[in-house]
Amino acid sequence: MSKLNETDIQGFVLRGYNLLFARYFFLHFEEPARARRLIEQLLPSITTGQRWDSGKPQSTVNIGFTHRGLSAFELPPATMISFPVEFQQGMRARASILGDTGRNAPEHWEHIWRGDRVHAWLGVNGITPAALDARSAALRNLIDETRGAVVLDSQDAAGQIVDGRPTAKEHFGYTDGFGNPDYLGVERSTQPGQGKLMPDGSWAPLATGELLLGYADEAGELPVAPIPHILASNGTFMAYRKLHQNLATFRNYLEEKSRLYGGGKEKLAAKFIGRWRDGTPLELSPDAENPDIVKDPDRSTNFTYGADAEGTRCPIGAHTRRVHPRDAFGFNGKLIDRRRITRRGLPYGSFAGEDEQVSDSDDRGVVFMALNASLSRQFEFVQQQWIEYGNDAHQGNDKDMLMGNHGGSGKFVVQGDRSANNPPFICAHLPNFVELRGGDYFFLPSITALEMIAMKLVDPR
Amino acid sequence: MPNQNGSVYGLTILSPILDDEKASPSHDLQIRLYLSTLPTGANSPFAKSPGTHLCRLVVMDDVVYVGAPSIEEHLQSKYLVFECNLDATGEEGLEAYLRGLAEHMPDHLDAIWSHCVGYPGAADVQAFIRYMKACQVETTFFFAAVNNKSVTESLRALQTQRAVADFIASSQGMEASRLQAKFVEFAAKLKAEPLPKPGSMGPKRDIKLGGRNE
């Protein structure tokens, strides 16, 4: 297949910017003509997937719309009803499918997500807080001048800086951001373990249509997409979820359980997710962190679970093994190639050192954003079957240890062997370490599609 | 024998549905209506009949034409499809299972199958068995949720797994002699526990089932 037209695809879709300061504005459009003018004037600022040959920009801007948001531009009804049903419904209406119940139920979400007013996500990333502020102010001015939208709210997020250097740590202390897939045609420094597993054990990029609309997916089909084709092509869907982290609960639970666990606290923490907190995969280094592996792109994601069917190295229910099972379900990994998602996202709230006092009510968590061609086939499947259920992983009714909506009754089995420092262990009475505070589904159109929306040119005929 | 996988039998029955244009609602819709009211899980009449691993009832209207290059074809009748994994070995085992259905859920069987051609009723058990077997087609391949384990063995295994996990969770790190005493007590108690009801060990999920992802 030919190279993608990177200048037509929003940069946020094609690559993680690694610009650690972000602000996500949530907009409401009040009047169609003014909203279109805003998009028209915003267009030159939208960051595309074009390579940064002359270095990183100071800041980036990207935009996505809810189904209601697209209605606000007066798109033709024939177009509006052609979007996939889950996108038309929005994430709140999908709560029972996603397991967003109990403490994660919409009635507990932040105010903005309980209503129907969010029309757009305007994502800004900056290389420094000052660059983020400057770009945010410019966007605010544009919104005010055009009166194209009302800013309902904004969400700040930022990576952790330690000794002046950015880290990929989240609040529980794990290093994040290893597992994004490669796609055909997307130029990116690829590494083995990030695409799909081939019969000879090598790794190849996933079909473009697993990420972008308008291209063949892993079944050789075009993903379900709105009409006209040009509106959909080079676009994608995003699930935005604000995930609050109960840090005090996590630390207390880990502390309490590790007193009984023969492998020690850090190994137990590693067993929860399948990687040591520095990112070393348990599968490659079951007994200790190994910074050499983490730094080596040929090794840090290059492993399979075939030789660890019993889960004695990486537990079968560990987070990373659940959400990216590689070959764990057999059939050379073929069962998972249509269930992959691309994750963006950053932590929000202040970081707390291990010896700092923390409380569950502290405002901290992660803004989780998943990109995929089909929300129902990819994100929703992973959430429903691999996070909130354990059958595919042969873990019965057990949910994902860290992400699961346990409500105090969950269980996680750490498989082990006869050695004293790797014993089998059971974590029971699991609380909710993570709670959903809201979010929605967004469509991130191509640059061409944004222009067509701005010019009122979308025509399904 | 393709119907058989170890001690589990894969049963497929296609019963032609009565075609009576005077019937209102039509017989196929009457079956659909009744099926929509049948409970699932532990309260399903099939769970209360012995030996059912899982089963499914489907009303098959016709072959759907999906466009060229496929050929337009039609069934001669509408069919009620009954697919079931059950504990049985060979024809004798199958007949025993069908007899169990006739004894445990005759009213349900009659309410469903009385809309099918030639159904004799469940009261005459021999006629019922003959009818069901006459409608049977060979199951060439079936989903083996459980290999070679009876419903009773599966339920006991699930009960044991759950109880042992709970036991470990509550006694990890216990001093050895106390642990042993506690385990002996636990094992005796577990052995005396009644068998859980079929259909009762599934996930307690407040999640919507039966969607496209299930």
pLDDT in tens, B106-129: 999 999 999 999 999 999 999 999
Q: Is A107 on the interface with B (CB under 8 A)?
A: no
* Inside any domain, residue B142: no
* Predicted pLDDT at A189: 73
Cα dist from B185 to B32, B180, B182, B200, whole Å: 50, 9, 5, 25
CA distance A289 to chain B (A): 26
With a cut of 50, say whether residue B214 has pLDDT above it: no
With a cut of 70, say whether residue A116 has pLDDT above it: yes
Block residue for tokens 């060229």: B68
Query: Rounded to the nearest 10 degrees, what angle do helices B106-113 and B27-37 cross at?
Result: 150
- Do B62 and B72 form a contact (C-beta atoms < 8 A)? no
Cut 0.90: pTM above it: yes
Block residue for tokens 């459009």: A29
* Predicted pLDDT at A215: 96
Binned at pLDDT 50, 70 and 90, residue A226 comes out as: very high
Q: Check A259 against B173: CB less than 8 A apart.
A: yes
pLDDT in tens, A61-97: 999 999 999 999 999 999 999 999 999 999 999 999 9
* Predicted pLDDT at B206: 53
Q: Check A101 against B206: CB less than 8 A apart.
A: yes
Q: Is A101 on the interface with B (CB under 8 A)?
A: yes
Q: Give CA–CA dist A221/B50, Å, rounded.
A: 44
Pairing of strands A165-166, A161-162: antiparallel
* Predicted pLDDT at B116: 98
Pairing of strands A203-204, A165-166: unpaired
* Inside any domain, residue B89: yes
The tokens for A168 are 């990929």
With a cut of 60, say whether residue B1 has pLDDT above it: no
* Inside any domain, residue B29: yes
Check: complex ipTM more than 0.95 = no
Residues B40 and B100 in one domain: yes
Residues B181 and B103 in one domain: no
Query: What DSSP character marks residue A400?
Result: P
Residues B78 and B164 in one domain: no
Least confident of A54-58, A162-166, A363-367, B73-77: A162-166
Block residue for tokens 């079956």: B31
The tokens for B176 are 């050895």
Which residue has better confidence, A161 or A310?
A310
Residues B41 and B120 in one domain: yes
* Predicted pLDDT at B205: 58
* A426 closest CB neighbour out of B172, B208, B212: B172
Reduced to 3 DSSP states, what percent helix, strand and coil does chain A have, rounded to the nearest 5?
Answer: 30, 20, 50
pLDDT in tens, A194-218: 899 999 999 999 999 999 999 999 9
The residue ranges of DSSP E strands in A353-432, in sequence order, are 365-372, 410-414, 425-430
Interface of B to A at Cβ within 8 Å reads 161, 165-166, 168-170, 172-173, 202-208, 211-213
* Inside any domain, residue B212: no
Q: Give CA–CA dist B87/A362, Å, rounded.
A: 55
* Predicted pLDDT at B210: 45
Residue pairs between chains A and B whose CB atoms are closer than 8 Å: 50
Residues B17 and B122 in one domain: yes
Residues B40 and B96 in one domain: yes
Binned at pLDDT 50, 70 and 90, residue B213 comes out as: very low
CA distance A381 to chain B (A): 6
Residue B211: list chain A partners with CB under 8 A: 97
CATH number reported for the structural domain that contains residue B57 in this entry? 3.30.70
Binned at pLDDT 50, 70 and 90, residue A41 comes out as: very high
Alpha helices, DSSP H, located in A235-352: 247-258, 265-273, 291-295, 319-323
Block residue for tokens 């007066």: A74
pLDDT in tens, B143-171: 877 778 999 999 999 999 999 999 999 99
Q: Which residue of A has its CA nearest to B213?
A: A381
Which residue has better confidence, A394 or B189?
B189
Q: Which residue of A has its CA nearest to B167?
A: A426
- Do A8 and A181 form a contact (C-beta atoms < 8 A)? no
Q: Check B212 against A428: CB less than 8 A apart.
A: no
Q: Give CA–CA dist B107/B45, Å, rounded.
A: 10
Longest dimension (CA), chain B: 77
Residue type present at position B31: I
Residues B67 and B130 in one domain: yes
Cα dist from A7 to A276, A314, A449, B8, B94, whole Å: 38, 41, 12, 58, 65
Mean pLDDT of chain A: 95
* Inside any domain, residue B86: yes
Block residue for tokens 């169609």: A32
Residues B133 and B157 in one domain: no
Contacts of residue B102, Cβ cutoff 8 Å, sequence gap at least 6: B109, B122, B125, B128, B129
* Inside any domain, residue B145: no
CA distance B27 to chain A (A): 33
Block residue for tokens 């109990």: A102
Contacts of residue B85, Cβ cutoff 8 Å, sequence gap at least 6: B8, B9, B10, B11, B52, B53, B54, B55, B142, B143, B144, B145, B146
- Domains contained in chain B, number: 2
Residue A353's SS3 state is: coil
Overall residue count recorded for chain B in this entry: 214
Residue A424: list chain B partners with CB under 8 A: 168
The continuous run of DSSP H or E covering A68 comes out as: helix A67-71
With a cut of 50, say whether residue B212 has pLDDT above it: no
Could you list the residue range(s) of the whole structural domain that residue B172 is in?
A: 151-192
Residues B11 and B116 in one domain: yes
* Inside any domain, residue B206: no
Q: Give CA–CA dist A67/A89, Å, rounded.
A: 8
Residues B131 and B184 in one domain: no
The tokens for B186 are 């636990």
Residues B27 and B102 in one domain: yes
The tokens for A210 are 């697993």
* Predicted pLDDT at B145: 73
The tokens for A235 are 């676009």
* C-alpha closest to that of A37 among A80, A72, A79: A72
Residues B30 and B111 in one domain: yes
Q: Is A425 on the interface with B (CB under 8 A)?
A: yes
Nearest-5° Cα angle at B31, B27 to B32: 115
A193: left (phi over 0), alpha (psi -120 to 50) or beta: left
Q: Is A191 on the interface with B (CB under 8 A)?
A: no
Burial of A324 (0-12, 13-18, 19+ CB in 10 A): buried
With a cut of 70, say whether residue A153 has pLDDT above it: yes
Binned at pLDDT 50, 70 and 90, residue A161 comes out as: confident
Q: Which residue of A has its CA nearest to B214?
A: A385
Q: Check A99 against B213: CB less than 8 A apart.
A: no
Residue B168: list chain A partners with CB under 8 A: 424, 426
With a cut of 80, say whether residue A49 has pLDDT above it: yes
* A426 closest CB neighbour out of B168, B202, B206: B168
- β-bridge partners, A240: A369, A440
Residue type present at position A419: S
- β-bridge partners, A165: A162
* Predicted pLDDT at B211: 43
Q: Give CA–CA dist B27/A161, Å, rounded.
A: 70
Share above pLDDT 70 across residues of chain A, in percent, rounded to a whole number? 100
Binned at pLDDT 50, 70 and 90, residue B204 comes out as: low
Q: Give CA–CA dist A266/A256, Å, rounded.
A: 13
* Inside any domain, residue B77: yes
* Predicted pLDDT at A1: 58
Residue A101: list chain B partners with CB under 8 A: 206-207
Which residue has better confidence, A244 or A180?
A244
C-alpha torsion B94→B99→B105→B106, nearest 10: 120
C-alpha torsion A79→A82→A88→A89, nearest 10: 150
* Predicted pLDDT at B131: 98
Burial of A359 (0-12, 13-18, 19+ CB in 10 A): exposed
